[in-house]
Structure 1
């Protein structure tokens, strides 16, 4: 499983926006310059993240972009879902999406919900504040989370 480039860029954009938390507002242009993400992509992400309630945009003189809530209250799951929609490892765990021909006899389906909840829970346990203000924990070879 791999995140889309847009979801990855959304996390990078939000991390950069969080660096401004408590300070002056920023802009899509400034976020693009800070992250190296092309301006049109950054503008699209700002729109998606604002629509999802993660960023707020203030118009006019002194306006700009800022986090809509504290960085500690925004998770990786929130950011990814803003761009990708609900986190679902397979179609059978999505609400209302049951288009698999194997579903009536599938022996694995009951287990996908557990896996999906574990992945979403892991993403939900990483706050934007932790991404913005700390270095990652070292990963040891062969370690499991």
Structure 2
């Protein structure tokens, strides 16, 4: 499984936004500059993340956006679903989809909801607080020759 570029960018953008929690707002240009994401991409993500209720936007002079709820209450699953929709590994496990050519004889389909729930649960266990925190790299991975 691999995230789409937009889902990956949404995680990057939300992590950067979480690091600005002490400020009244951050604007799309600031986020683009900080993350290296193109401004049009950030603007598109802000729209999707706002529609999903993860950020609040304010237009006009002094506008920008901020997290709609505390970073600890936003999960990786929330961010991915805001961009990708419901987490589902197989197309047939998405509600309302019945377009699989194997559907009539498929014995695996009943198991996908369990797999999807496990995946969503794993993503839901990672908070935006964790994602926004710089990762400490163990010294042994920086200079393996020092541990030999």
Q: Would the TM-score normalized by the shorter structure come out above 0.5?
A: yes
Query: Match for residue 99 of structure 2?
Result: 99
The two structures, once aligned, show a CA RMSD in angstroms of 1.7
SS in 2 for 1:99: coil
- Note the residue ranges of structure 1 that are not aligned, 5 or more in a row: 139-145
Over 3 Å counting, the alpha-carbon distance change for 1:52 and 1:134 in structure 2 is: same
Whole-angstrom distance in 2 between the partners of 1:127 and 1:136 = 17
- 1:107-122 alignment runs, 5 A limit: 107-122=107-122
Q: Which runs of 4 or more aligned residues in structure 1 lie more than 3 Å from their structure 2 counterparts after TM superposition?
A: none
Equivalent residues, number = 138
Task: Tell me whether 104-113 or 65-74 shows the greater mean CA deviation.
Answer: 104-113
Whole-angstrom distance in 2 between the partners of 1:137 and 1:88 = 32
Whole-angstrom distance in 2 between the partners of 1:93 and 1:136 = 37
Whole-angstrom distance in 2 between the partners of 1:100 and 1:6 = 26
- What's the offset of the Cα at 1:136? 6.8
- What's the offset of the Cα at 1:62? 3.2
Whole-angstrom distance in 2 between the partners of 1:137 and 1:2 = 23
- What's the offset of the Cα at 1:134? 5.0
Q: For residues 23-64 of structure 1, give each alpha carbon's deviation from its aligned partner in whole angstroms, at most 9, with x where no partner exists.
A: 231100000000000111111111111111111111334322
- What's the offset of the Cα at 1:137? 9.1
Q: What TM-score does the superposition give when structure 1 sets the normalisation length?
A: 0.88
Query: Match for residue 71 of structure 1?
Result: 71
- What's the offset of the Cα at 1:111? 1.8
Query: Match for residue 144 of structure 2?
Result: none
Q: What TM-score does the superposition give when structure 2 sets the normalisation length?
A: 0.86
Whole-angstrom distance in 1 between the partners of 2:4 and 2:10 = 10
SS in 2 for 1:17: helix
Query: Match for residue 51 of structure 2?
Result: 51
SS in 2 for 1:122: helix
SS in 2 for 1:65: strand
- 1:1-145 alignment runs, 5 A limit: 1-133=1-133, 135=135
Task: Tell me whether 72-81 or 107-116 shows the greater mean CA deviation.
Answer: 107-116
